[in-house]
């Protein structure tokens, strides 16, 4: 996969909108499935055409973010 060019401000904003990723007081913070789904939503916001990537590419993208 090519090196990702991600808008840092957009990434920060997308993560801030998902409390379950960063807020340890959030009930969903400890739920891995909910956090993974939230990270997928963040990736879909910051990576162009994320929905068109293969599952392998999506996983690599999530890891890179």
Per-run averaged pLDDT (10 residues), the chain, 65 residues: 78 97 96 94 90 87 76
18: which DSSP letter? -
The model's pTM: 0.77
- What per-residue confidence (pLDDT) applies to 1? 47
Residue 48 buriedness (CB in 10 A; 0-12 / 13-18 / 19+): exposed
């Amino acid at each position: 996969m090519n090196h990702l060019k991600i808008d840092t401000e957009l990434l920060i904003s997308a993560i801030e909108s998902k409390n379950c990723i960063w807020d340890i007081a959030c009930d969903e913070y400890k739920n891995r499935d909910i956090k993974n789904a939230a990270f997928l939503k963040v990736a879909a916001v910051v990576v162009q055409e994320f929905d068109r990537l293969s599952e392998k590419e999506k996983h690599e993208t999530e890891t890179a973010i």
